Amino acid sequence: MNAAPALRLRAGDIAPSLVLPLLAAAALPAMSFSTWLTLTVAGVAMGMMLFLMASGLTLIFGLMDVLNFAHGAFITLGAYVAVSVLAALAGWSVAESWWLNLAALLVALVAAIVASGAFGFVFERVIIRRVYGAHLRQILVTVGGLIVAEQLIVALWGPNPLPLPKPASFRGSIILGGAAIEKYRIIAVALGLAVYLALHLVLNRTRIGLLVRAGVENREMVEALGYRIHRLFIGVFVAGTALAGMGGVMWGIYQELVTRAIGADMTILVFIILIIGGLGSVSGCFVGALLVGLLTNYVGFLAPKLALGSNIMLMAAILLWRPRGLFPVAKE
Amino acid sequence: MSGEDDRPRSRLDSLLSGDRPGGIVLSALMLAVLTGLALTPFLFPGTRSVAVAARICIFVVLAASYDVMLGYTGIVSFAHTMFFGIGAYGVAIALAKFSVGWGAVLLGAAAGVALAVVLAAAIGLLSLRVRAIFFSMITLAVASFAQILATQLRDVTGGEDGLTFSVPRVLTPGFRLLEDTVLGVRIDGRLITYYLIFAMSLGLFLLMLRIVNSPFGRVLQAIRENAFRAEALGYRTVVYRTLAGALSAAMAALAGAMMAVLLRYNGPAATLSFDVMVDILLMVVIGGMGTLYGPALGAVVLVMAEYYLQPAMATLAGAVAGWPLLPAVFDPDRWLLWLGVLFVLIVYFFPSGIVGKLREMRAG
């Protein structure tokens, strides 16, 4: 599920790792280099934000075998929390100071993490706890939870789309190698990479990570060894939903507009990413998110009408080639 | 059901495929729904009540066809509205772009059903061979793609505005079959449309009852209970699940065709939106999964709620006007919030829904 076993591939089985560079290389002849560079950076940035949203879901599925259809509600919650926080810190956000802007973003991120994580805790206790092991009821009950959560968010923030302006210094772009690169995208890439590395380190270098990995491989055995797997479940669920809230903040600021459908729209891309990468795999999720981000940007430039369709085509192609995704989890 | 096979089958039993509602309460309820729908134009005259009744008939078919998948086969699809929409667009495009006539209606419906079956089979074969859970995720993605496609292909589908079209003259409100009124009700095109929809819905419902009680239906239920064991007994679970999906898609497309004829309009919001999907889910779960009668009952409850719950909530919101937050959650637009809460509670405490609960009470 995590990087180590997923990347320890059978000899000769490097084909899945080549998909990403091949996609980037295939797009190059279709456009000028500077366009390609702009689109690639945009795609990587989008992929990183998608990774933030998707990584939580794949972790939750990998460990708990729960597919949370309400994941989008946590994304929406994060984005709306950012609206409130940045509105409250409007002085910091509009100031022409890099540090104040960054502080505003950080406060928004922390607030969203706390709000989504706390809501995730309640959600696990109230909704998920009773349906472990029953897939059909899980899907139904999480869809019910999604309906309730979305409606509550609308009751709190109102039904209309709310503007979420980028902090002043994150607007505009810098010129690099003849290509315009938006500043905000660089921040998104940095944050995404930091989260990926942090997840990687926690899963591979800490005791908790060891337990999570063990729980993914064999839940009963971890329990038999005397660890309370349920506490681990809660922890991972809260962490996963907090990541979704973080993704919601980043995506909301990127779009500069927050609608009630923001989470539902992203959930569809997140599912495509999970299927492409292999359900439960963090590395697969990372590669899948980058693939979807890059493809969306390349196709969005070359043939705008096909953008979402291209992701579904990619998913169908990968399912035909590797029915379990690019980096399947060892289990089952 | 199967234990009653020794007795000579009555005509009613053969009509209901031996699957009676079960119990006096439930039988009385179903009978009340049936007579209520059959006599709506005479019992509750008025355009609005007939429109509500027609909507109920269509949603009975739609919810029952969803139950064939969810309740009998145990797989969750989020693309049911896509098939509903395909049927509706089939009729809409045929009537709007080609000619107004029965030929166009039939051709459009047939094309819709064919496309729905092919798509459902493709999705099923692609995803069900891996894990049933993939099916849910992929149907969600494909359904949202269909929605975007319908809004973007302006020339074909009319985009966001949808298509408005004329139906054959017999079905228009201006058409009079008889000069005189019958029991004070004018026999016009609107009435004919209603009874056409009513008869088709009844027929399709009985057909689905026949299918789920056939040997094929038994295999589906075996797969739902234990897919591994069904496979070990020699049934190709992928094939059976895919067939169930295709069948259910065909029924949904027919329901969509009826919806288009009823509304004389079709657009993304009418048949493709995720709100409709949520409605169907609520109908099936509240009524009772895997019973077919349950979804029918759920359709009645939910369509009525849609029309009559919102005014009730407006009253409630007015009553708590001074309180913090309460007016917001009792706002008529938040009716889905309460249905969502009800949905979660039912999945927890009455997983077999209204019908399942009534049958349990009768049994024990």
Q: Average pLDDT of B253-274?
A: 90
pLDDT for residue B192 is more than 80: yes
Give the pair of three-digit tokens for residue A271. Answer: 């599912």
Give the pair of three-digit tokens for residue B59. Answer: 């949603």
- Per-residue CA distances from A277 to A20, A271, A325 (Å): 11, 10, 5
Provide the pLDDT for residue A330. 58
Q: DSSP secondary-structure letter at B176?
A: B
- Is 3.10.20 the CATH number for B2-363? no
Task: Classify residue A327: in a domain, yes or no.
Answer: no
> Which of B133, B334, B344 faces A151 most closely, judged by CB atoms?
B334
pLDDT for residue B59 is more than 90: yes
CA B302 – CA B308 distance, rounded (Å): 10
CA A294 – CA A189 distance, rounded (Å): 13
CB atoms A151 and B336 under 8 Å: yes
Split at pLDDT 50, 70, 90, the class of B256 is very high
Exposed / middle / buried, residue B308 (Cβ in 10 Å: 0-12, 13-18, 19+) = exposed
Task: Tell me which residues of chain B, numbers 21 to 60, contact chain A at a CB-CB cutoff of 8 Å.
Answer: none
CA A276 – CA A287 distance, rounded (Å): 9
Nearest CA to B270 among B135, B91, B109? Answer: B91
Task: Tell me which residues of chain A, numbers 293 to 312, contact chain B at a CB-CB cutoff of 8 Å.
Answer: 305, 308-309, 311-312
- Window from A65-69, B54-58, B171-175, B243-247 with minimum mean pLDDT: B171-175
Exposed / middle / buried, residue A151 (Cβ in 10 Å: 0-12, 13-18, 19+) = buried
Highest mean pLDDT among B56-60, B91-95, B353-357: B56-60
Provide the pLDDT for residue A237. 93
Split at pLDDT 50, 70, 90, the class of B24 is confident
- B176 phi and psi angles, rounded to 5 deg: -115, 125
> Which of B74, B141, B325 faces A271 most closely, judged by CB atoms?
B141
Residues of A in contact with B74 (CB under 8 A): 136
Residues of B in contact with A141 (CB under 8 A): 344, 347-348
Residues of B in contact with A313 (CB under 8 A): none
Q: Whole-number mean pLDDT of chain B?
A: 86
Task: Indicate which of A68, A147, A154 best probes the interface with B, i.e. most B CBs within 10 Å of its own CB.
Answer: A147
CA B291 – CA B221 distance, rounded (Å): 11
Task: Classify residue A328: in a domain, yes or no.
Answer: no
Q: How many CB atoms sit inside 10 A of residue B173's CB? A: 13
Q: DSSP secondary-structure letter at B188?
A: B
Task: Indicate which of A143, A272, A299 best probes the interface with B, i.e. most B CBs within 10 Å of its own CB.
Answer: A143
Provide the pLDDT for residue B173. 77
CB atoms A155 and B337 under 8 Å: yes
Contacts across the A-B interface (CB distance below 8 Å): 101
Provide the pLDDT for residue A6. 44
> Which of B76, B148, B347 faces A144 most closely, judged by CB atoms?
B347
- Per-residue CA distances from B287 to A174, B283, B291, B351 (Å): 58, 6, 8, 10
Exposed / middle / buried, residue A117 (Cβ in 10 Å: 0-12, 13-18, 19+) = buried
CB atoms A159 and B329 under 8 Å: no
Distance of CA B38 to the CA centre of its chain: 18
Residues of A in contact with B351 (CB under 8 A): 137
How close A137 gets to chain B, by Cα (Å)?
Answer: 7
CB atoms A148 and B329 under 8 Å: no
pLDDT for residue B330 is more than 80: no
How close A106 gets to chain B, by Cα (Å)?
Answer: 29
Split at pLDDT 50, 70, 90, the class of B8 is low
Q: Which residues contact A271 (CB under 8 A, 6 or more apart)?
A: B137, B138, B140, B141
Residues of chain A with pLDDT under 70: 1-13, 308, 330-332
CA A223 – CA A194 distance, rounded (Å): 31
Angle, CA A142 vertex, CA A264 and CA B349 arms, to 5°: 150
CB atoms B140 and A144 under 8 Å: no
| Residue carrying structure tokens 């908790």 | A208
Task: Classify residue A332: in a domain, yes or no.
Answer: no
Q: Average pLDDT of B135-146?
A: 88
CB atoms B76 and A268 under 8 Å: no
Exposed / middle / buried, residue A306 (Cβ in 10 Å: 0-12, 13-18, 19+) = middle
Task: Indicate which of B72, B347, B349 best probes the interface with A, i.e. most A CBs within 10 Å of its own CB.
Answer: B347
- Three-class SS of residue A174? strand
User: Does any CB of chain B come closer than 8 Å to the CB of residue A323?
Assistant: yes
- Per DSSP (E only), the strands in A256-304 are 257-258
CB B64 within 8 A of CB B74: no
How close A268 gets to chain B, by Cα (Å)?
Answer: 5
CB atoms B334 and A154 under 8 Å: yes
> Which of A152, A268, A316 faces B140 most closely, judged by CB atoms?
A268
Is the pTM of the predicted complex or chain greater than 0.90?
no
Q: Which residues contact A143 (CB under 8 A, 6 or more apart)?
A: A69, A70, B278, B281, B343
- A306 phi and psi angles, rounded to 5 deg: -95, 5
Q: Average pLDDT of B135-159?
A: 86
Provide the pLDDT for residue A14. 76
Provide the pLDDT for residue A203. 86
* Domain residue limits, chain B: 2-363
- Window from A201-215, B56-70, B252-266, B318-332 with minimum mean pLDDT: B318-332
Provide the pLDDT for residue A244. 95
Domain that holds residue A58: 3-321
Q: At what angle do helices B274-287 and B132-152 cross, to 10 degrees?
A: 140
Task: Tell me which residues of chain A, numbers 129 to 168, contact chain B at a CB-CB cutoff of 8 Å.
Answer: 130, 135-137, 139-141, 143-145, 147-148, 151-152, 154-156, 159
Q: How many CB atoms sit inside 10 A of residue B42's CB? A: 12
Provide the pLDDT for residue B241. 93
pLDDT tens string B294-307: 999 999 998 988 87
Task: Classify residue A329: in a domain, yes or no.
Answer: no
Q: DSSP secondary-structure letter at B161?
A: G
Q: Which residue of chain A is at minimal alpha-carbon distance from B69?
A: A136
Provide the pLDDT for residue A73. 95
> Which of A143, A145, A152 faces B281 most closely, judged by CB atoms?
A143
CA A237 – CA A53 distance, rounded (Å): 13
pLDDT for residue B197 is more than 90: yes
Q: What is the CATH number of the domain that holds A51?
A: 1.10.3470
Q: Which residues contact A232 (CB under 8 A, 6 or more apart)?
A: A63, A208, A211, A212, A215, A222
Nearest CA to B127 among A276, A128, A135, A183? Answer: A276
Task: Indicate which of A151, A274, A312 best probes the interface with B, i.e. most B CBs within 10 Å of its own CB.
Answer: A151
CA B258 – CA B275 distance, rounded (Å): 19
Give the pair of three-digit tokens for residue B122. Answer: 């493709």
What is the total count of domains within chain A? 1
pLDDT tens string A273-288: 999 998 888 889 999 9
pLDDT for residue B38 is more than 50: yes
How close A192 gets to chain B, by Cα (Å)?
Answer: 24
Q: Which residue of chain B is at minimal alpha-carbon distance from A68?
A: B137
